[in-house]
Amino acid sequence: MLLLITYMNLSEFLLSLIAFSPAELLDITSHFEKENISKDTMLIEQGEISKKLYFVEKGMGRSYYLKEDGKEVTQWFFGVGKFMSSVDSFFQQSPSLYYLETLEDSILYSISKENIDILFSKYHKMEQFGRLVSIEMLTKVVNKLNAIQFQTARERYDYMLAEFPNIAYRVPLGHIASYLGMTQETLSRIRR
């Protein structure tokens, strides 16, 4: 078994991208609320307007889409040190296309839209932080799109292992298969 990163502090993460002063850091983190959430808790329902953005200090979650035929399609996995949300629902305050749930007992730091907007207007640096995080997410979504659009089932699985090394072995096969746009049976066969 690999040694995994299991914790990532919010302040640490903020500092890893931008040189916030201790005072700024304190003010910013005070706008977040620490939440202990147990496994399999639904954070957002499809159709609901997302009220909070979550930072994952420990644990993990996923967003998924529910098709008309009742099948779940995993849209994204959120590991330690990432922001978790139904992005467009939160930022555009529009109905979410996805469900968001924890997959393990987790420690999350949540912030409301009002509070993050306060931070964005108060701190130029925070706005910069927001842009950097957005671009990073954009890059990752584009990578997934590439994997799905022009790679074979086998190559897509390799992408998954590279992108989510410490998630791939912790979640049910079916979640990964639907994330990669294939059936569980196909993924099972690919892994040999």
Among 25, 118, 137, 153, binds DNA (CB under 7 A): 153
Among 135, 161, 162, 173, binds its own copies (CB under 8 A): 135
Q: According to the binding rule CB under 8 A, does residue 21 interact with its own copies?
A: no
Distances (CA, A) of 186 to 16, 94, 98, 181, 189: 39, 35, 24, 10, 5
> Smallest gap, in angstroms, from Cβ of residue 132 to its own copies?
9
Contact 47, 86 (CB under 8 A): no
Residues 6+ apart with CB under 8 A from 63: 44, 74, 75, 76, 78, 84, 86, 98, 99, 100, 101
Mark the segment that binds its own copies (CB under 8 A) among 27-35, 107-115, 128-136, 169-177.
128-136
Mark the segment that binds DNA (CB under 7 A) among 16-24, 87-95, 123-131, 177-185.
177-185
> Which 63-82 residues touch its own copies, going by CB under 8 A?
65, 67, 73, 75
**Which letter does DSSP use for residue 50 in this model?**
P
Give the residues lining the site for DNA (CB under 7 A): 152-154, 172-174, 181-189, 191-192
